[in-house]
Structure 1
């Protein structure tokens, strides 16, 4: 088990990725912190994980996409249609961000907050 703080491991991942993938992951991380100021950063499965009363989402980087996976995504409201991956599952959903794509910041913030609310509701 690493003694390196998760935030440092995430910083390292962003720096290692560089380019559009690093920029995208950094922007998504900043949006998460803006939307949910008390979000907890973790490092699991060799990837960034953001949690509050349960996992909100993970951040994974692939050659052609940065993916955010929401474990409870199928139960979340998505009026802007952000979810574009892992749509066949009954529980989780994901968003693939590609080079040159624009982030719908208000919709993403609403989705992050909805994921936290779903975690909190499940704990009651």
Structure 2
């Protein structure tokens, strides 16, 4: 009886850090930011967001902070997350090639629900493209609702 030798996958080549010392941009332009808790880690993520996406990220961050005073912030998995209780996140966002994806882990419990669906029944998304206007009133209402829901453990 012959056994097959498993084929080894080639090692992943580490991403090269840009010469200017800025963070590596992963696929879709998402900044590679080390995990950490606190505003300074989210600020590093926002500063590294490319082009028009940076303005979107800063606007989202400002709306979240204004809507939930004392919101806790963290970066995990190259994504900024926001928490009302310091234990569970209620919203996060990250860069994709053509848009910024805002994630609501309990979005199906919100009224109205954010428009984007997920394979996970409770999760809803809001995709923001380059020329989209952010409806600050609606977004702030979603943030108010999301902050009161259980969220996901971080």
| TM > 0.5 | yes
Shift of 1:88: 5.0
Q: Deviations over 1:47-95 (max 9, x none)?
A: 10001132111111111111110111111111xx6x2323453111010
Q: 1:49 to 1:4 in 2, by over 3 A?
A: closer
Q: How do 1:39-118 residues align onto structure 2 when only pairs under 5 Å count?
A: 39-53=71-85, 54-78=88-112, 83-118=114-149
In 2, Cα distance between the equivalents of 1:17 and 1:48? 11
More displaced stretch, 86-95 vs 4-13: 4-13
Q: Work out the number of aligned pairs and report it.
A: 116
Larger Rg: 2
Instruction: Say if 2:53 is the partner of 1:30.
Output: no
Which of the pair is proportionally richer in helix? 1
Query: Distance in 1 between the 2:36 and 2:111 partners?
Result: 35
Deviation at 1:113, TM superposition (A): 0.5
Q: Pairwise mapping of residues 12-23 of structure 1 onto structure 2 (< 5 A)?
A: 12-23=44-55
Structure 1 spans left out of the alignment, 5+ residues? none
- Structure 2: gaps spanning 5 or more residues: 1-33
Distance 1:64 1:3 in 2: 24
What TM-score, normalized by structure 1, do the two folds share? 0.83
Report the RMSD for the aligned CA atoms in angstroms.
2.0
